[in-house]
Amino acid sequence: MTIGVQTATTSAVKASVKRPRRLHHAAWVTRDSEATRHFYEDILGLPLVATWAERAPMAGGAMREYVHTFFAFADGGALAFFQHADQAERPIDLNSPGHLAFECDAETQRGIKERLEAAGYALRVTDHGYCVSLYVTDPNNLRLEFTVDHPELDRINARQRQHAHEDLERWLAGDHTPNNDIRPH
């Protein structure tokens, strides 16, 4: 079966499958819940909406005590962080798997940028053409992106959808020629 045939079948199946409605939460470990609270609530503006002190079995079955904090987005989704009571004896590496990207408007992005700069965080802004992204790393080594979409994103996305599978197939076959003709040079 070729990739094109497989893709057409997969696309038909995907169209009939119910998808999750939104991100409920994404969770990471923190070593300092107060530094995390300060970053997300005081700098980024995401309110702390829940703190759960818990005792539960972890991988391997050992009981661990931890605090689980949630910081809310406007759509009801949240970022959550765990701090284990025994982290000094059983440390967990803070490795970021990539980054999380959050959509916002230009005013919100500008306010986040100003607060990050005032707090001394290193950041980077990249104009991808289809969006302008602000990147920063939080106190837990989690990389975050705050993105403002291009005003004509629906038109841009429709154009991309037409060739997405062929573009991926081309790239996987070794042709790494850029196809982003709207990104500023």
Does domain 23-85 correspond to CATH entry 3.10.180.10? yes
3.10.180.10, 3.90.550.10, 3.40.50.1980, 1.10.3470.10: CATH of 97-178: 3.10.180.10
Q: CATH 3.10.180.10 region(s) of the chain?
A: 23-85, 97-178
The per-residue pLDDT for 42 is 95
65, containing H or E segment: strand 63-72
The per-residue pLDDT for 8 is 57
Q: Report the predicted TM-score, pTM, of the whole model to 2 decimal places.
A: 0.73
Q: Which residue type sits at 61?
A: G
| Residues whose CB falls within 8 Å of the CB of residue 106, separated by 6 or more in sequence, listed in order | 132, 148
- For 13-61, write each residue's pLDDT tens digit: 666 677 767 777 888 888 899 999 999 999 999 999 999 888 777 767 7
**Are 180 and 128 in contact, with CB atoms under 8 Å apart?**
yes
Q: How far is CA 157 from the centre of its chain?
A: 19
* Cα–Cα distance measured from residue 12 to residue 133, given in angstroms and rounded to the nearest whole number: 32
- For 58-74, write each residue's pLDDT tens digit: 767 777 888 889 999 99
